[in-house]
Structure 1
């Protein structure tokens, strides 16, 4: 099948009207859906119009800015994520809101215990194994306070490590 000027013009017209590649192939006759898609790409036609919408050429162009450092003080960030649409591989942008910061409410009467500053070799079954600091630095140590028989952590660090499932769901 040859692409005559007349068929190419009809393809452009049908594409701009928002018909799918399958519909255009059926109207042109003697050509497959994939042949229509290939010709659309070779002609560098804009995304096809959506029913009742505007063509991609009529839409305002997106401007991109230089990447920014994350702002952890912000509550939410909106990002545009490209998504392919079916076999036509056209791009459609969807905005997603991603949570960046979580607020934790601390109880009013929390007492943070003093650490005994134990090294790994000093830990026993009855000492708190909560790590404190950066393991690559000399100041790194473990809490070392007394822990109950059933827990590797003291009562303070156990509350941090084992949050009730309802509390975890609320924080999400």
Structure 2
């Protein structure tokens, strides 16, 4: 399977971590910003985003969460997206919370405040400032949750932890969360080790 990716982009990083944690080998095809705008790449993904997972039969799957779910299902246990309805539901709930309340706002904050994106997009720094509280609020919720359980969705490492991990990392990179609380610092170490 081939993964069209961009080094250090948040969504490909999520797929890469899941693949690594599950011991999967993917053929990485790394792109730069110009590649994703090319006519050739738009034939692979008309939206021009990464990642794209190309299966051995040529079929393509887009959207990082869907790619993760596919890889998790075809690779067998341990299931990082859950095994059974209750576990899948709990993991999905925490994953979506982490994505919408932490990862996306942290990344968008950076897109609209960091100078390296100024030539690529129209930046709205005031809007970015208006969403800065969402990651901080979610990190407080994470502190409470991780005081009760080793990982975000319960006792086992899951896709929810992968999403929250990169949310924390990007929040730190962009100055939203420069020093993690001790319980989150400990969890970051557990995610690294999982």
TM-score range, shorter chain: under 0.3
Quick check: which has more Rg, 1 or 2? Answer: 1
Q: Which has the larger share of strand? A: 1
Q: Relative contact order (C-alpha < 8 Å, sep 6+): which is higher?
A: 2
Q: Which has the larger share of helix? A: 2
TM-score of the two chains, using structure 1 as the length reference: 0.22
